[in-house]
Structure 1
Amino acid sequence: MGRMVVFVCVGCGAVLTTPVSQVALPVHAAQKFGHELLPALLESGTYAVDPEPSGPPRRRWEEVGADEAAARGVYAPVYTLSYGPPGRVGVAPGDVRGTVLIPERCDGYCLGLDGRDGPNLACEGCGQAVATRIDDCTLWQVVWLDPRAVRPVGVEAPARRVVGWEALREEHPGTPPVEQPGRWSPVWTAAVAVALARLLAVSGGKRMAVPDGPVAEAFRKAIDILLPPGAPTREMVLAGPGLPAAITDIALVPQHPQTGEVWPTDARAVVPLAADVWMYLAFHDDRRLVPAASGMPDGVRRDDPPPLLPWRPFRPDWEMFVSTLALLPEVRQPWLRAIYDQVRERRYQHPFW
């Protein structure tokens, strides 16, 4: 997976992290979910790079204009565009060393820090602002290292093994879609929303057939609502390790969680899906066994523990959906721009139901 590195302060050279190795940026990195504390975005011992600009200063869409925004890779109206530096480096909060909080920048929405005032961690050695800790409610907990204030230095440490595609199914069997006490996993709502936006972009606005089972439960309702009615003229199927190889129309394939590599296929259109969600869709069997009508004691005729069931229908994360669409050039097509506007304007009206 490449060498291990530590990140050091560019001002004084102080070490600011434990040894870490690079992984793909999780698809849910920018997600806001619920009103409770979320876990860490990244596993200890790893880091990920966000290629997009982030943080202050920010400018309103009306001030920037469509042409300048398109040059920045944003193709539909958003509230603001960041003019901060691209390439921030995310690490698990527990992997940070040698930093202190900057008290005047420790504001947040509810239960912690949300980084609204810019970097809130300083190098303990020289006092330079080097990172932003995020641990408020609704946000995945992470420390974003400022790419202008840190640099990587290679170290002698055991490098993490890259899991091959064939072993991925065993070592990463997938993230269950439902969490306690019956809510949909935020990882699922984000991953499906991002893939849904990309599916629509490659569909050309034509109705697509969706395979039955878990894939239909995740995607079919939204596709039926957003695309025009009628008989399907395109077909979407799962393709990836452990499934029969077939050339098809639209392939929903896994994206490797370590390398970011997309499963290679000869399909005419390829849409990546986070591997932990793809694996569950491809291989998990949600069918419930029905006990025999007789011959089984009452005390045995039960599920133990009982299956965890969601308390409401599945709904992709609308904000992740529109933010993904805004970064796709296809959204400039009138039919897809109409979908973008429809979902964006119906935020509180459940646009995927």
Structure 2
Amino acid sequence: MAVFACAGCGAELTGPVTEVALPPHAHREGGNRYLPALMEPGTFAVDPEPSGPPWRPWHELGVDEAAARGVYAPIGGLWCGPGGAVLLAPGDTRDTVLIPEQCDGCCAAGGWPNLACERCGRTVGARIDDCYRWQAVWLRPEAVRRLPVPGPARPAGDGWTVTPLPPVEPDGWWSDRWSAAVAVALAEVLAASDGRPVAVPDGLLAETFGRTLDRLLPADGPARTLGLAGPGLTPDPAPDIALVPRHPWTGAAWQPADGTVPAALDAEVWTYLAFPPLRPTTRLPAGEERDDPLPLRPYRLFEPDRHLLVHRLARLPAVRQPWLRAIYDRLGDGRQD
């Protein structure tokens, strides 16, 4: 476990927290107007990508420098500050105060940076609780120090057993987390397709992945197959491209059998797809009445998060291939990063 302390005065700014993988929806905005906390209590994640000033537009970066920073296709620009911003649930912070003049969100705090150490006043990060944004605290890597504290480095178990995440919210909308997770995995599926059609099984997988793949890839030619593989699930025959779970603690993708190309998917989303809840298949006996709610059906067709799909594609070396670059350009009209 760890706590994060102010790099200026040493004051502890968090309670003890355990490191987990950065959620795929960490940078998603939109969806439901008021979103819950991004991180589970008692956990933190580190974003390896640079954040904070300076902001450099694409024409200033150039192709070679952008590639050295892990970006392989044109974007609006790139923050070039240090990587390693720390993401926490707001309830895990201690002894911090808001900087009022920096809280310039629409309905609440949304500016960056807007959070300071209460003891010395040093700017340490941002508290986000604006509309259409996940509740979160981001600590600037250069403003804090990570200190080890007694306690387990990881929760008990192997980490693969997670609660499946339903695809539809109680209000009838597609889950924001599904939109983000599918978008990130879709980028990897597109890269693994080699520009060929991808055959997707009927059902929820077709609803969430199939429509976008059909829209972006050719309709003719020999198709590659898409399926699921992971802990407790061994497909027979093995698909050409396997959606596999990303480990919730480390972010590492589960590795399928030889010859199958993996595309990593959020573990809770993957678990729902791989082991969906059982549905009643028989009618009730005559005279028996029940008030069990019907399975939720969304109001509209599923759409992956376009911004996150483009963001992930730009960071895959395969996007330099002409056929995938053409898809990227189609998706990225008017993009900002």
Provide the TM-score with structure 1 as the length reference.
0.89
Structure 1 distance, partners of 2:95, 2:311, is 35
Contact 1:209–1:232 (CA under 8 A) maintained in structure 2:
no
1:10-46, Cα deviation, whole Å (9 max, x unpaired): 1111010000010000011011123612111111101
- Match of 1:197, SS state, is helix
The reply to whether residue 213 of structure 1 matches residue 203 of structure 2 is yes
Alpha carbons of structure 1 residues 303 and 201: separation in structure 2 relative to 1, 3 Å: farther
| Number of equivalenced pairs | 333
Structure 2 distance, partners of 1:29, 1:201, is 22
User: What are the equivalent positions in structure 2 for 1:1-353 lying under 5 Å apart?
Assistant: 4-34=1-31, 36-108=33-105, 110-115=106-111, 118-157=112-151, 159-164=153-158, 168-169=160-161, 172-244=162-234, 247-268=238-259, 269-285=261-277, 287=279, 289=281, 291=283, 295-297=285-287, 300=289, 304-345=292-333
Structure 1 distance, partners of 2:152, 2:244, is 31
Identity of aligned residues (%): 56
Structure 2 distance, partners of 1:180, 1:111, is 24
Code of the aligned partner of 1:45 = G
Alpha carbons of structure 1 residues 71 and 232: separation in structure 2 relative to 1, 3 Å: same
Contact 2:318–2:324 (CA under 8 A) maintained in structure 1:
yes
Contact 2:181–2:265 (CA under 8 A) maintained in structure 1:
yes
Q: Post-superposition, which runs of at least 4 consecutive aligned residues in structure 1 deviate over 6 A? A: none
Alpha carbons of structure 1 residues 267 and 315: separation in structure 2 relative to 1, 3 Å: farther
**Most deviating of 47-56 and 278-287:** 278-287
Code of the aligned partner of 1:316 = P
Alpha carbons of structure 1 residues 56 and 303: separation in structure 2 relative to 1, 3 Å: farther
Structure 2 distance, partners of 1:280, 1:238, is 11
- Match of 2:196, SS state, is coil
Code of the aligned partner of 1:142 = A
Point out where structure 2 has 5 or more consecutive residues left out of the alignment: none
Query: What's the CA shift for 1:160?
Result: 4.2
CA RMSD of aligned residues (A): 2.0
Query: What's the CA shift for 1:325?
Result: 0.5
Contact 1:248–1:266 (CA under 8 A) maintained in structure 2:
no
Alpha carbons of structure 1 residues 223 and 346: separation in structure 2 relative to 1, 3 Å: farther
1:287-336, Cα deviation, whole Å (9 max, x unpaired): 553526xx522x61x55223221000111111111111011111111111
Point out where structure 1 has 5 or more consecutive residues left out of the alignment: 348-353
1:181-228, Cα deviation, whole Å (9 max, x unpaired): 110001000000111111001111011221222212211111111100
Structure 2 distance, partners of 1:191, 1:318, is 11
Query: What's the CA shift for 1:137?
Result: 1.4
- Match of 1:87, SS state, is strand
Code of the aligned partner of 1:127 = G
Query: What's the CA shift for 1:122?
Result: 1.0
- Match of 1:50, SS state, is strand
